Chains A and B, each alone.
Chain A
Amino acid sequence: MSLVFLIFLPILAALLIPLLFKKLSRIHTGWFVLIVPVILFIYYASYLPQTMEGGTFTSEFQWIPSLDIAFIAYLDGLSLLFSLLITGIGSLVVLYSTFYLDKNREQLHNFYVYLLIFMTAMLGVVQSDHMITLYLFWELTSISSFLLIGYWYTRDRSRFGALKSMMITVFGGLMMLGGFVLLSIMGNTYSIRELIAQAPDLVQHEFFIWALVLILLGAFTKSAQFPFYIWLPDAMEAPTPVSAYLHSATMVKAGLYLVARFTPIFAASGLWVWLVTGVGLFTMIWASVFALKQKDLKGILAFSTVSQLGLIMSLLGASAMGFHVEDAANTVFKYAAFAAIFHLVNHAVFKGSLFMVAGIVDHETGTRDIRKLGGLMSLMPISFTIAMIGSLSMAGIPLFGGFLSKETFLTAMLAITEFEPFSMDVWGFLFPVIAWVGSVFTFIYSLYFVLHTFTGKHKPEELPKQAHEAPIGMLIPPAILAMLVIAIFFIPNVVGDWIVKPAVLAIQPFLYTSPEQVDVHVSAWHGFNTELFMTLGIFAVGGLLFWLLRKWQPVYDKLPETYSLNSLYDFMMYLSDSGAKRFSALYMTGFIRSYLAYMFGFFILIMLTTLYLVDAFVFDTTNLAPVGTYEIFIAIALVAATITTIAAKSRLTAIVALGAVGYSVALFFVIFRAPDLALTQLVIETISVALFLLAFYHLPINSKKEERISFKVGNAAIALGVGVTMTLVALSAHSQKLLPSISEYYKETVYSEAGGGNIVNVILVDYRGFDTLFEIAVLGIAGIGIITMIKLRLSKKEGHHENK
């Protein structure tokens, strides 16, 4: 079966969903949907033995061959790991949602269609080898996530959260597209594999840093890194299965996938190492500190997701450092990429189960507010057990998978202190310190989440519902995940060999050529070393701080809300919305005078600047016609008539003066030997003046009070500018004739070719008859227009027209 086809399987299945929802409404639609991810999971799992040995698979489907765009599914260790996460957790989430969502009250056909679109999009992101289709699927994840967050679209908070996540992730997506385009220009290919092969040449290219920064922006926005994490807590308005699936296990890891996938290309750059490691660690500590501020169960989990994503991101940065270290495959540096992927798997597993538990608590008690919850342990024992397993794994306590990945994380961070390039020897000691502090807070919020929900005093009077254990079907998916959490602790090397090492090969092809070479062995007991003492310190300090939590947690409420990143986002949205409106209201005055002033102003500006810049003003007195007496008199008459037009007190005078200007122009035509023009000008000026008088006669009474046109300095300046510009342009145009006139041809052939004597008339009807045809059309259209305006009087309906 073609791998490309499998990517599209969920979206094709989505076509059937509305039909199944309508026709078989007695059965919950989720049961039909469940088939798709289960089949895909089993199929992808069958590839495991081959990728374990370093095998890769490709499958291609041409889309736009002329532009070299194709759907290329490329399956290696990294893609397979993500594909298994997507389909595996996808199956569990669909199962969970069949119990979570009510089949009679919810619009299930919408929900499952969006979910299946998302599944296709995620599979496309992790399997695409072609950057353009990778981008296509990337945006499809943004869109389907937007639809899922806004699933309960009648709630304001849902719509706000959906819009916010859309704005931020699409911003990052567009930046990423820019990076992809730059990369494709640099490498002259869209294929990521071919780009990796060219990596040593690409480093030298001038676009390299730009592509790096733009692609990182895409990864950071999607994976909710600082300062772009703000959309993730607001995305918690989505139904809990969506939060569990998209916002913990899959979509937020698309950015991590991107960083991992592009590490072989960008690892050579120090900026990449610094940015990925630094931003990752900062995000980790920031989000872990603020997780304790949250009062909402899903809010705590959202911040913990951000924090854990930062942790994995920093490990990916450390794995890129391996490129710069001599013989990195044999030093402690080899742990970074392994730890990143191992923790990614662990996180997907325990965070999925924790979200499901949060959903169960919400479903069975009616609230997610941690201040109202407490003492649910005896009422909901199974949920408590699952939550305990997930939380302790998140905290990094032995017997759970999280402990092992936390140990390898500390190992990798300690390795950085020995790293010398890019002045890491100066600042390197900070990395394990930050990692340690972040881990302490992680430990505290993990306990805060589980203990404040399930232990303590039960407050039944504050709960909207009578709390009781969830139905068994809802408990199965988180229970499976919880069992996996424990299983990973006991068989870490199986997971490592089967899943993690092939993925490490894809991240660090510069170190290894086959998965067997990744010489990492994880064990629960690894002797008395620094990591172990750091872990013990985490437990001790974390335990102490958790015990004192009530004393210092109120500090968070004293933090000013005004300086938070959320208010910065709100302010930016406000600025772009009302700021743009104010800005356009500033110049869109609605007065025709303003618009004409802009046009004339820019006309002057552009013409004079151009004249100056290209040094076009030339004044040449040769080739001038002699000045005659009559011309001077007519010119004076014309200027006098023009002044009268402007200065006239009454409009009647202005109209008559305009007539005088027209007749002076006709006289000019006579003097300059243009008899046809003179005739036409005389007739038309007469009719025009008659028309002006007609319009004048119909002036409404209330504005008949004549007033002199008032002198305005601004208007006069613009008018003077236009006049001067036109004179300068006319003078310099006349002074530089580049080519001889083609009129010689008309003069010579007017009789022999066209059989006429009046050259102007022959040009009009013979040489250039088309002009005349359409000029007749213009006149005809004007006539029809005038008749229509006068005859057609559609009655105004009161209150129907918007404009007054």
Chain B
Amino acid sequence: MEIIMSVVIGFLFMAAVYLMLSKSLIRIIIGTGLLSHGAHLLLLTMGGLGGMAPPVVADGVSVADYADPLPQALILTAIVISFAVTSFFLVLAYRAYQELGTDNMNLMRGTEDYE
């Protein structure tokens, strides 16, 4: 299963990078969204996918059968942080539309030196 997940993660990274290299600001943010999904799944996969029971103490489940709880805790933190950053970016993009009147990254170049 881990092999299939590795391929899926690779695919997510590929899609994310492709979108991040595009001109449109909103596509870049979509790309970062895909990138964080890929990273979260990578964390989970690297912890091992073999656990038979969710990491909640229950009668009749031996310690060895629980899924690894540590990557899950890490992912939970990562999800919240990436959400915070994504929402900040989105509002930033929204404000950029309002002020600059464009969402094309090629038109948002720095100073006139580049002309």
Q: Chain A residues in contact with chain B, CB under 8 A?
A: 589-593, 596-597, 600, 621, 623-628, 631-632, 635, 638-639, 642-643, 645-646, 651, 654-655, 658, 661-662, 665, 668-669, 672-677, 680-681, 684, 687-688, 691-692, 694-696, 698-700, 702-703, 709, 712, 715-716, 718-720, 722-724, 726-727, 730-731, 733-734, 741-744, 746-748, 750-751, 756-760, 763-764, 768, 771-772, 775, 778-779, 781-783, 785-786, 789-790, 802-804
A771: which B residues are within 8 A, CB to CB?
73, 77
CA–CA, A766 to B95, complex, Å? 39
Q: How far is the CA of A775 from the CA of B33 in the complex (A)?
A: 18
Query: Bound state CA distance, A730 and B48, in angstroms?
Result: 12
Determine if A642 and B92 form an interchain contact, defined as CB atoms under 8 angstroms apart. Answer: no
Which of A626, A676, A687 has the most chain B CB atoms closer than 10 A to its own CB?
A676
Q: 0/1 per residue, B86-115, Cβ < 8 Å to A? A: 111011111101100111111011111010
Taking a contact as CB atoms under 8 Å apart, the answer to whether B69 and A625 are in contact is no
| Shortest distance between the CB of B80 and any CB in chain A (Å) | 5
B66, A747: Cβ atoms under 8 Å?
yes
24 A–B contacts, CB within 8 A, in A order:
A589-B114, A590-B109, A593-B23, A625-B49, A635-B4, A639-B11, A643-B15, A661-B12, A661-B34, A668-B41, A669-B44, A677-B75, A695-B97, A698-B98, A700-B97, A700-B101, A702-B102, A726-B38, A727-B9, A764-B76, A764-B77, A779-B80, A781-B84, A789-B91
Q: Is the CB of A695 within 8 A of B90?
A: yes
- In the assembled complex, the Cα of A802 lies from the Cα of B18 at a distance in Å of 33
Of B2, B12, B22, B24, the contact of A624 (CB 8 Å cutoff): B2
A703 contacts B103, CB within 8 Å? yes
What residues on A are CB-neighbors of B76 within 8 Å?
A: 676-677, 680, 760, 764
* Nearest B residue to A643, CB-CB: B15
* CB <8 Å contact, B19 and A646: yes
B17 touches A722 (CB 8 A): yes
A742 CB contacts on chain B under 8 angstroms = 70
Q: In the bound complex, do residue A775 and residue B81 qualify as a contact, i.e. CB atoms below 8 Å apart?
A: yes
Q: Report whether A763 and B69 are in contact in the complex, using a CB–CB cutoff of 8 Å.
A: yes
Q: Which of A591, A642, A662, A789 has the most C-beta atoms of chain B within 10 angstroms of its own C-beta?
A: A642
- Are B14 and A790 in contact, with the CB atoms below 8 A? no
**Contact, CB under 8 Å: B98 / A719:** no
Residues of B within 8 A of A727 (CB): 6-7, 9-10
Select which of A627, A662, A778 is within 8 A of B37 by beta carbon: A662
B103 to chain A, nearest CB (A): 6
Q: Can you add 6 more A-B contacts, CB < 8 Å, to A589-B114, A764-B77?
A: A677-B79, A680-B80, A695-B97, A716-B18, A719-B17, A790-B91
Within 8 A of A (CB), among B1-59: 1-15, 17-24, 26-30, 33-34, 37-38, 40-42, 44-58
Task: Give the complex CA separation of A250 and B109 in angstroms.
Answer: 54
* Cβ–Cβ contact A654 & B30, under 8 A: yes
B10 and A723 contact, CB distance less than 8 A: yes
User: Which B residues are CB-close (under 8 A) to A668?
Assistant: 41, 44
Instruction: Give the chain B neighbours of A643 by CB distance below 8 A.
Output: 15
CA distance A689 to B87 in the complex (A): 10
Whether the Cβ atoms of A593 and B105 lie closer than 8 Å is yes
Alpha-carbon separation in the docked complex, A208 to B95 (Å): 64
For B15, B67, B72, B91, which residue has the most chain A Cβ atoms within 10 angstroms? B72
Q: Which of A590, A673, A722, A726 contacts B114 (CB 8 A)?
A: A590
Question: Of A590, A764, A779, A790, which contacts B95 at CB under 8 A?
Answer: A790
State the 5 A-B residue pairs at the shortest beta-carbon distance, nearest first. A723-B14, A727-B10, A782-B84, A719-B18, A590-B109
